[in-house]
Amino acid sequence: MDDRYSPDDLPELPELPELPEYSDEHIHAPFEIAPGDYAYPQHYAEHSAAPSIDAPSKPPDKAVNWIKEMIQLILIVVVVRIGMDTFIPRYIVDGASMQPNFHTSERVIVDRVSMLFGGPSRGDVVVLKSPAVVDELLIKRVIGLPGETISIQDGRVYIDGVLLKESYINEFCTYRSCNGVWELGPDQYFVLGDNRSHSLDSHSFGPVEGSAIIGIARVRYWPLDELAIFDKVDY
């Protein structure tokens, strides 16, 4: 028996239905590809972007912090020093004009703030600009106040005719040059050294203006065994 088939022996195939025609407007590309670009679906680009990661902040350098702290400390010291030199300056006593109460090389703190709200009181020890020598400072005791009449007889001081009892004086001036009468103006002071016979003071140059007084000595801080706070003198 012959197993070969002839074309006539093949069954007829059914006809396939015609496919509908599609125009270009029915085709939508999910994305466009530009030459040289990588192609990603649009939804992948919108929803699958890699999250951004912030770089960790660099810890502050210890050296930088130390420098900042040192600058702050220096500024504080400078400000405090300027404030002290302006309002409570320190001075070194030089000379014998205030013996026996002050001696050479002793150091005192002077109050300038009180000068802004008034002036010195009688008996206050003050630092002032010398009327006799330019750029020289003196330390003296205030004896006469503005508007008073000061007279000295045999070394003893009289205020408007009333004897001034000075317990801080060991030896009064006995020279004729120490005697005299002085009328003080509305802003003038009469200052004397405690060592009356060896002091360049109002005996010689007369009353001083209030503007010449720098401040009032409040504390002696050196030497330590002579540490003292100066109270108001009780006459």
Which residue of the set 140, 151, 199, 202 is catalytic? 140
Give mean pLDDT, residues 25-52.
44
**Catalytic (active site) residue 68:** no
Residue 30 lies in a domain: no
39 band by pLDDT with thresholds 50, 70 and 90 = very low
Residue 185 lies in a domain: yes
How confident is the model over 72-111, as pLDDT tens digits? Answer: 889 888 888 787 777 788 999 999 999 999 999 999 999 9
Q: Check residue 78 and give its pLDDT.
A: 86
In angstroms, the CA 190 to CA 203 distance is: 9
**Catalytic (active site) residue 58:** no
Domain of 174?
A: 90-229
Give mean pLDDT, residues 135-149.
97
Let me know: does 188 contact 142? Beta carbons within 8 Å: no
| Tokens coding 197 | 């016979």
In angstroms, the CA 128 to CA 216 distance is: 9
Residue 200 lies in a domain: yes
| Tokens coding 66 | 């130390």
Give mean pLDDT, residues 192-207.
95
Residue 161 lies in a domain: yes
Q: Is a pLDDT exceeding 90 seen at residue 128?
A: yes
Residue 58 lies in a domain: no
Q: Check residue 42 and give its pLDDT.
A: 47
In angstroms, the CA 211 to CA 141 distance is: 16
How confident is the model over 167-192, as pLDDT tens digits? Answer: 999 999 988 889 999 999 999 999 99
- Comparing 4-18, 33-47, 60-74, 194-208, the range with the smallest average pLDDT is 33-47
Q: Total domain count for the chain?
A: 1
Which residue of the set 23, 52, 68, 97 is catalytic? 97
Residue 77 lies in a domain: no
Residue 1 lies in a domain: no
CATH assignment of the domain containing 170: 2.10.109.10
Residue 133 lies in a domain: yes
43 band by pLDDT with thresholds 50, 70 and 90 = very low
Give mean pLDDT, residues 196-208.
94
Let me know: does 168 contact 125? Beta carbons within 8 Å: no
In angstroms, the CA 112 to CA 91 distance is: 12
